[in-house]
Amino acid sequence: MDFGFTEDQRQIQRTARELLADRARPERVREHAEAGTVDRALWRELCELGWPGIAVAEDNGGQGLGRIELSILCEELGRALAPVPFLPSVMAATLIEHAGSPQQRERWLPGLAAGEFTGALGTAVDGMAELVIGAPDAAVIVLVEEDRSGRLLEAAQAEVTLTASIDPTRPCATVSVVSDGGEALAGDVPAGIDRALVAISSELVGVCDRALEMTVAYVKERKQFGVPVGAYQAVSHRCAQMLLETEKARSTAAFAAWTADADPERLPEAAAMAKAAASDAAREVTASAIQAHGGIGFTWEADVHWLFKRAQLDAALLGGGKRHRAQLAAILAERLGAPAVG
Amino acid sequence: MDLTFSPKETAFRDELRAWLAENQPDVEPLDGGEDAHYAWRRDWQRRLYDAGWAAPAWPTEYGGRGASLTESAIYFEEIGRARVPFAANTLGLLLGGPTLMVWGTPEQKERYLAPILSAEEIWCQGFSEPDAGSDLASLKTRAVKDPEHPDQWLVTGQKVWTSGAQYSKWCMLVARTDQDAAKHKGLTYFLMDMEQDAVQVRPLRQITGESEFNELFIEEARIPDANVVGGVGNGWKVALTTLMNERAGLGFALQIRLRQLLDDLIAAAAERGLLEDPRYADALAELHVRCESIRLLAWKGLTDAERYGQPGPEGSLVKWLWSDTNQRLTELAVDIIGPEALTAGTPWSYEFLRARGNTIEGGTTEVLKNIVAERVLGLPRLKVAA
């Protein structure tokens, strides 16, 4: 039993954090958010480092590392709010890897792993998906339906209409299937969705972590009535609550990432727990961050709102807390008679 | 990261689980009051002791198994899972013994450890006072040297929340020995013999109607010098050792109890057709997520303890989340179970009322939040007006 990272995993985390602290500085993120652009220079650099293919099997052109390593990168990119199509692209690759045919894998995975082109993943109702992150630039788009069936579209097979979400750090689009376009994903779509949920959850953990870090720094600095506001328990207890929510999300996301590789039978439950915990945590923690920043937190100038906005989009992505708790309740109902204790 | 158990840990779990399956305690005496109940738990500890399962975390030289932190956590998980009672002398096993192992003299270890393990001598904890709860170091119970017997102390004061005091031989007592020293400096840790007239035990009736705890009224109780633990004036440090041990292992048993209670509640909801009701399904699933994250955070704390030598202040998060979750769970139970859960003497009404203590005992949630804010997040400490 060891809940910690290996030395290699810690190294990945350190390297990623240092790189992003330098390349995705807040002013740079703001620049791209305000212009509505992707940071192509950063994306190229991440691709050269092999990030998009970290969890793609070596046979499919990736590095063949695990979901924990992928989660580490997702968390760091979430922390930095990096304006790159990493999450949508790795989610598309995950779906294709788990649910695609050999031909589909061969056609798309090496390119996605190398970052030659990007992908996107959306939730569709009757062939139309709204707010598909990364879709405007994607060469391949995976749409999953409510019944957990999946469809793979080349960009030409989709009508992609740019839409502005409240989170301008990543471009979004409405995606519609053109006539009978696209191919069905015939494999294990739920296995892909569950792994995508883990990736989103990890990004949300990063968002929480950063929101808490910024808030703690601010309330130590900001003085009212002659003392740092962080000395008041109304404020410090709010920060403690933010940590509690963050750690709940972190522990369930780490567990889900671990089960994805080591104990896949438990993944559906673990992924639902992670996404439920992370979605709610991120919305609560980033809202708290705005509140603890006071007036400045409500301004466009303070960077805390980017985190709040990222949290909303990611929380909604593939279903939020309520959806995944309903999923969990179904799992619990099914399991009645056999307690969950492992 | 590896959330599986080593063959050695699995063997430990299997051995204990097999033993527990073969060795159930006698039927719990539901009539006969607290004395009968206590005798039942004492008997259970003797059977654990005979099989070497009273305190596996103790080093082998003191009669334990030298179990690792992980094995110790497994032990409490299995005790919780088997739904057997805690040993009668839990405070001696978890707090008193380990504190003596750190601070006790060779003579003290020789004299006290074995009878703790065998339940021959029961221990209780004399820390809190009516005016010293969260602010423990402000305690007023005082110990002065007996002018006629300079190797003896006379202790006067009042203690509260002393569980098991009526059955105890020894009390871990923190008293003020230097009135002039700074608040944390003038304290000394004693082992007080409870079998003397100068110590009066009065049961403290709690909101469940029963008396788990007592008040102690101490009027010139006698303690020999030999019963000072860790040196005169060093009581705060010794007390912290005791407090650090307080939640280390027990958390795993509490976490399993919470899991069992939730499983019971889910089953009750299903029987009533409420698991398909989205309102209840959502609330039960949220409890499930919390329950699992308590388990995960507890294991994470253990990993940190094994890597860095001791549990970090993050342990406060687990206790905070556990106590809050147990309250939410029992509140939801009142909604799901209905009138039975508000009928006196039923198991659910007991759980519901008892849960109110969870966010107070062993560190109030407010104090835990302060610890998290100051020691984990590094926020400035609130300066209280003198």
DSSP codes joined into one string, A160-205: EEEE--S-TTS-EEEEEE-TT-SEEE-S-HHHHHHHHHHHHHHHHH
Q: Indicate which CATH number applies to the domain containing A176.
A: 1.10.540.10
Contacts of B253 in chain A (CB under 8 A): none
Residues whose CB falls within 8 Å of the CB of residue B335, separated by 6 or more in sequence, listed in order: B280
Residue A221 lies in a domain: yes
Taking the Cβ of residue A328 and every Cβ of chain B, the question of whether any pair is shorter than 8 Å is answered with yes
- Express each pLDDT in A67-114 by its tens digit: 999 999 999 999 999 999 999 999 999 999 999 999 999 999 999 999
- What phi and psi values does residue A310 have, to the nearest 5 degrees? -60, -40
Which entry of B246, B271, B306, B331 is annotated as an active-site residue?
B246
Neighbours of B42 (CB within 10 A): 16
Kindly state the tokens that stand for A329: 């309740």
Same domain, A168 and A311: no
Last residue of a domain, one of A134, A153, A185: A185
Look at domain B247-376 and name its CATH class: mainly alpha
Q: For chain B, what are the domain ranges?
A: 7-88, 123-234, 247-376
- Express each pLDDT in B325-344 by its tens digit: 999 999 999 999 999 999 99
State the best of B9, B77, B289, B368 to mutate against chain A, taking most chain A CBs within 10 Å. B289
Q: Which residue of B has its CA nearest to A228?
A: B380
Same domain, A103 and A206: no
CB-defined contacts A:B, below 8 A: 165
Q: Under an 8 A CB cutoff, do B296 and A251 touch?
A: yes
Percentage of residues in chain A having pLDDT higher than 90 = 94
Query: pLDDT at residue B49 above 60?
Result: yes
Q: Which residue of A has its CA nearest to B68?
A: A1
Residues whose CB falls within 8 Å of the CB of residue A171, separated by 6 or more in sequence, listed in order: A36, A38, A133, A134, A135, A136, A137, A162
Quick one: which H or E segment has residue A223? strand A223-224
Residue A341 lies in a domain: no
Same domain, A39 and A175: yes
Same domain, A94 and A225: no
Same domain, A79 and A198: no
User: Cα(B291)–Cα(B274) distance, rounded to whole angstroms?
Assistant: 20
Q: Are B124 and B164 in contact (CB under 8 A)?
A: yes
Q: Are A132 and A151 in contact (CB under 8 A)?
A: no
Query: Per the CATH hierarchy, to which homologous superfamily does domain B7-88 belong?
Result: Acyl-CoA dehydrogenase/oxidase, N-terminal domain (1.10.540.10)
Nearest residue to A72 (alpha-carbon basis) of A29, A1, A15: A15
Same domain, A179 and A208: no
Taking the Cβ of residue A338 and every Cβ of chain B, the question of whether any pair is shorter than 8 Å is answered with no
Output the DSSP codes for A17-74.
Answer: HHHHHHHS-HHHHHHHHHHT---HHHHHHHHHTTGGGTTS-GGGTS----HHHHHHHH
Same domain, A72 and A105: yes
To the query of whether residue B271 is one of the catalytic residues in this protein, the response is no
Q: Under an 8 A CB cutoff, do B4 and A341 touch?
A: no
Residue A247 lies in a domain: yes
User: Helices A304-316 and A26-35 sit at what angle, rounded to 10 degrees?
Assistant: 60
User: Cα(B270)–Cα(A131) distance, rounded to whole angstroms?
Assistant: 37
Last residue of a domain, one of A185, A202, A232: A185
Kindly state the tokens that stand for B95: 């707090």
Residue A339 pLDDT: 43
Residue A338 pLDDT: 44
Q: Confidence band (pLDDT; 50, 70, 90) for B247? A: low
Last residue of a domain, one of A185, A207, A237: A185
- Express each pLDDT in A126-135 by its tens digit: 899 999 999 9
Q: Indicate which CATH number applies to the domain containing A211.
A: 1.20.140.10
Number of domains chain A is built from: 2
Same domain, A202 and A261: yes
Residue A297 lies in a domain: yes
Same domain, A153 and A208: no
Same domain, A56 and A176: yes
Neighbours of A21 (CB within 10 A): 12
Residue A1 lies in a domain: no
Residue A141 lies in a domain: yes
Residue A340 lies in a domain: no
Contacts of B376 in chain A (CB under 8 A): 240, 243
Alpha-carbon distance B35 to nearest alpha carbon in chain A (angstroms): 33
Please list the pLDDT of chain A residue by residue as tens digits (342 residues): 888 899 999 999 999 999 999 999 999 999 999 999 999 999 999 999 999 999 999 999 999 999 999 999 999 999 999 999 999 999 999 999 999 999 999 999 999 999 999 999 999 998 999 999 999 999 999 999 999 999 999 999 999 999 999 999 999 999 999 877 899 999 999 999 999 999 999 999 999 999 999 999 999 999 999 999 999 999 999 999 999 999 999 999 999 999 999 999 999 999 999 999 999 999 999 999 999 999 999 999 999 999 999 999 999 999 999 999 999 999 999 988 544 443
CATH number for B123-234: choose from 2.40.110.10, 3.40.1380.20, 3.30.1490.20, 3.40.50.2000.
2.40.110.10
CB burial class (10 A; 0-12, 13-18, 19+) of residue B278? exposed
Residue A342 lies in a domain: no
Nearest 5°: the CA angle A286, A328, A210 is 20
- Express each pLDDT in B140-152 by its tens digit: 999 999 999 999 9
Average pLDDT, chain B: 93
User: Cα(A276)–Cα(A278) distance, rounded to whole angstroms?
Assistant: 6
Residues whose CB falls within 8 Å of the CB of residue A153, separated by 6 or more in sequence, listed in order: A140, A141, A142, A143, A175, A177, A181, A182
**Distances A104 to A53, A176, A180 between C-alpha atoms, Å:** 16, 20, 18
Same domain, A146 and A11: yes
Q: Are A173 and A94 in contact (CB under 8 A)?
A: no
User: Cα(B192)–Cα(B169) distance, rounded to whole angstroms?
Assistant: 8
Which domain does A81 fall in, by range?
7-185
Same domain, A15 and A136: yes
End-to-end CA distance of chain B: 48
State the best of A3, A9, A198 to mutate against chain B, taking most chain B CBs within 10 Å. A3
